Amino acid sequence: MAVVVWIVEGTWPACVDAARRHAPEDAEIVLLHVTGDDVADAAHGAFAGLLGRGHPERDPGTRVEHLAAASAETLLGAAAERLGRPCTRTERTGRVEREVVAAADGAELLVLARDGDRSRLGPHSLGPASRFVVDHAPCPLLLVWPEAAPDLTTMPGPPHHD
Amino acid sequence: MRRDRDRRTLRPTRKDRKLNASLAETLSVALLVLVLAGAVVRPFGLPEAVTAVPAAALVVATGALSPAHALDEAERLGPVIGFLAAVLVLAQLCDDEGLFQACGAWMARTAAGRPRRLLGQVFLAASAITAVLSLDATVVLLTPVVFATAARLGARPKPHVYACTHLSNTASLLLPVSNLTNLLAFAASGLTFTRFAALMALPWLAAIAVEYAVFRRFFATDLDAGAQAPSGGDAPELPLFALVTVACTLAGFVVTSAVGVDPAWAALAGAAVLAVRALLRRRTTAKALLNAASVPFLAFVLALGIVVRAVVDNGLDTALGRLVPDGTGLAALFGLAVLAAVLANVINNLPAVLVLLPLTAGSGPGAVLAVLLGVNIGPNLTYAGSLATLLWRRIVHAHDTEVRLGEFTRLGLYAVPASLCAAVVALWASLAVIGGG
């Protein structure tokens, strides 16, 4: 049984901290990062748009793919260091939300952070990718705030019934 | 030489063997599709010119285009292609001097760990680089640097990389050197370099401002996610020599156009200065320079121009002539820009501008510039035009995973109509204030 921690740029420290606090001592911790293929595809596409330029070795999409692999490794390294206990690092490439759901198969717990518009509390505090993961994850979830959780005063008043 | 001229006077006899117009048009269109497909598919990894040059030879050999018209087209495109080669070399040498790395370091430092600020810096850098060193420089040289910068800050790279792809089109409105389409239109419009830039400055700013607003909203989630400020590190050395050379080249564009010399010479001089320095310091080789000039691409443009000319001359001009609005009122400018954007998305912006220029040049520079708005902003919907994009997707699909165009297209549906409208209104205002004369 494993605790999977979804590492995403910007919001990952909160997830690592939550895993450190809430994962059982004997649980295997898996740090998961998914590189979306859409970013490199955009660069590939822009190069294809430069019709006739030749030089496929100059395709910026390929360079972006290499850079993405290196950056994911650095990110997972930083996360492992913050975690400070033995863990497995997993890197996947593809459709981010689907890869996360697939990687969580058989896990005991999946830790993820809200990544939407956190200035307005409510459904929009989950972005499209995390919304998909919350709806389709095959295991229990621990959903954390990237910063301190909002206090009770931020809760809207009850609806009025006239 | 004399023998050549004699042969040219014999040409009328060829007319008898000329294909009938509809057959010639069918052949030319088929060859155009073949040329575009060859450029995307690149069978056996062959350069684009391998399909394009024989196709151009074939339209002339079959009489679909008379040799005189082919020669005329080649004479028109020659200087444009030389100009393009100089700009391509200039951009590559700037990269060799470390200009783009320095740009990445500047973006990382000034963004101070805030993704929204990073997006602002990417917009500034990509707009300036596209305008001065052409869209190729932004796509090929800046995009990986922007990705690396975002990754270094721990920011989500998507908004910033997408900004590069969009601005390589939208921000290529400003100068004749910014885009090959501009160079072609510049030659046809009869404008000076300075007047071209003056007329396009406002549309350029308007289109970029609209893109920026769309990006801030569209990528709000990714931009909210945060990032870390970069850890100290040495600030890389500013490539002063390259910057000064580029500035002098820009000044050269203004001066040459003021004294009536082709501004291509200024680009050539700028490229030559950097090339000599790089050769002396053994930072580059003659082979690398020739590679940067991309000779097969130049042959491709020339051949494509000849095939398109055959398509236009054999009937597309009368067919499209009915769709091309006359005059340079706001409605006419709008109609031209939309027509150009649609054509750019159906075929590709390069053939689109080649088709539309002869049909609009008569209406004056305003009409030509409206066409440019369409062909430069339009590709943000389908990358390379739908035909080329479909083919490209199939090839990538064959090698690798499926390419998803959903998000790119959705972003384009917000950004393209809005920035096109803003740019057309801005062009109309510029024409009213500055005048197209």
Q: Do A38 and B404 touch (CB under 8 A)?
A: yes
Cα separation, B318 vs A98, in Å, equals 52
Q: Do B379 and A146 touch (CB under 8 A)?
A: no
Minimum Cα–Cα distance from A60: chain B residue: B140
Cα separation, B306 vs B62, in Å, equals 13
Return the CA Rg of chain A: 19
Q: What is the pLDDT of residue B275?
A: 94
3-state secondary structure chain B: CHHHHHHHHCCHHHHCCCCCHHHHHHHHHHHHHHHHHHHHHCHHHCCCHHHHHHHHHHHHHCCCCCHHHHHHHHHHHHHHHHHHHHHHHHHHHHHHCCHHHHHHHHHHHHHCCCHHHHHHHHHHHHHHHHHHHCHHHHHHHHHHHHHHHHHHHCCCCHHHHHHHHHHHHHHHHCCHHHCHHHHHHHHHHCCCHHHHHHHHHHHHHHHHHHHHHHHHHHCHHHHHCCCCCCCCCCCCCCCHHHHHHHHHHHHHHHHHHHCCCCCHHHHHHHHHHHHHHHHHCCCCCHHHHHHHHCHHHHHHHHHHHHHHHHHHHHHHHHHHHCCCCCCCCHHHHHHHHHHHHHHHHHCCHHHHHHHHHHHHHHHCHHHHHHHHHHHHHHHHCCCCCHHHHHHHHHHHHHHCCCCCCHHHHHHHHHHHHHHHHHHHHHHHHHHHHHCCC
Interface predicted TM-score (ipTM): 0.83
Name every chain B residue with its beta carbon within 8 A of the beta carbon of A60.
139-141, 143-144
pLDDT band of B34, cuts 50, 70, 90: confident
Which residues, at least 6 apart from A42, have a Cβ–Cβ distance to it below 8 Å? A61, B158, B161, B162, B165, B408
Answer with the residue of higher pLDDT: B90 or A153.
Answer: B90
Name every chain B residue with its beta carbon within 8 A of the beta carbon of A125.
none
pLDDT of B147 over the 60 cut: yes
Answer with the residue of higher pLDDT: B42 or B358.
Answer: B358
The domain ranges of chain A are: 2-154
CB pairs under 8 A between A and B: 151
N- to C-terminal Cα distance for chain A?
Answer: 51
Q: What is the pLDDT of residue A153?
A: 82
Name every chain A residue with its beta carbon within 8 A of the beta carbon of B143.
43, 46, 60, 64
Cα separation, B8 vs B136, in Å, equals 38
pLDDT of B12 over the 50 cut: no
Cα separation, B316 vs B321, in Å, equals 8
Q: Average pLDDT of B392-396? A: 65
Q: What is the pLDDT of residue B249?
A: 95
Answer with the residue of higher pLDDT: B8 or A22.
Answer: A22
Name every chain A residue with its beta carbon within 8 A of the beta carbon of B39.
51-52
Percent of chain B with pLDDT over 70: 88
Please enumerate residues of A whose Cβ is less than 8 A from a Cβ of B: 8-11, 36-39, 41-56, 58, 60, 63-64, 67-68, 70-71, 74-75, 94-95, 115-119, 127-128, 146
Q: Do B384 and A44 touch (CB under 8 A)?
A: no
Name every chain A residue with its beta carbon within 8 A of the beta carbon of B227.
9-10
Mean pLDDT of chain B: 86
Q: Do B224 and A117 touch (CB under 8 A)?
A: yes
What is the tens place of the pLDDT at every residue in A38-47? 888 888 888 8
pLDDT of B93 over the 80 cut: yes
Q: Token pair of B423, please? A: 């740019």
Q: Average pLDDT of A101-129? A: 87
Q: What is the pLDDT of residue B23?
A: 85
Q: Do A54 and B115 touch (CB under 8 A)?
A: no
Q: Average pLDDT of B211-233? A: 82
Q: How far is CA B40 from CA A22, A60, B272, B307, B412, in A?
A: 52, 16, 32, 17, 22
Q: What is the pLDDT of residue B5?
A: 39
Cβ B348 vs Cβ B37: under 8 Å = no
| B220 close contact with A: CB closer than 8 A | yes
CATH class of A2-154: alpha beta
Closest CA to B334 of B421, B208, B210, B419: B421
Q: Token pair of B292, please? A: 């940067």
pLDDT band of B412, cuts 50, 70, 90: very high
Q: Do B220 and A60 touch (CB under 8 A)?
A: no
Closest CA to B430 of B201, B205, B210, B254: B201
Q: Average pLDDT of B274-293? A: 88
Question: Testing the interface with B: which of A33, A53, A82, A133 to mutate, by most B Cβ within 10 A?
Answer: A53
pLDDT of A150 over the 60 cut: yes
Q: What is the pLDDT of residue B10?
A: 38
Q: What is the pLDDT of residue B159?
A: 94
Q: Average pLDDT of B130-158? A: 91
N- to C-terminal Cα distance for chain B?
Answer: 39
pLDDT band of B288, cuts 50, 70, 90: confident
Beta bridge partners of A143: A112
Q: What is the pLDDT of residue B321?
A: 76
Q: Average pLDDT of A15-32? A: 93
Q: Average pLDDT of B383-412? A: 69
Q: What is the pLDDT of residue B394?
A: 65
pTM: 0.86
Lowest mean pLDDT among B129-143, B180-194, B402-416: B402-416
Q: Token pair of A79, please? A: 């996360």
Q: What is the pLDDT of residue B319?
A: 77
Question: Testing the interface with A: which of B36, B224, B394 to mutate, by most A Cβ within 10 A?
Answer: B224
- Closest Cβ opposite residue A51 in set B39, B141, B401: B39
B54: how many CB neighbours lie within 10 A of its CB?
Answer: 15
Q: Do A71 and B45 touch (CB under 8 A)?
A: no
Q: What is the pLDDT of residue B398?
A: 56
Name every chain A residue with its beta carbon within 8 A of the beta carbon of B36.
51
Cα separation, A114 vs A117, in Å, equals 9
Question: Testing the interface with B: which of A33, A35, A41 to mutate, by most B Cβ within 10 A?
Answer: A41
| B158 close contact with A: CB closer than 8 A | yes
Cβ A48 vs Cβ B36: under 8 Å = no
- φ, ψ for residue A36, nearest 5 deg: -70, 135
pLDDT of B327 over the 50 cut: yes
Lowest mean pLDDT among A52-66, B65-79, B337-351: A52-66
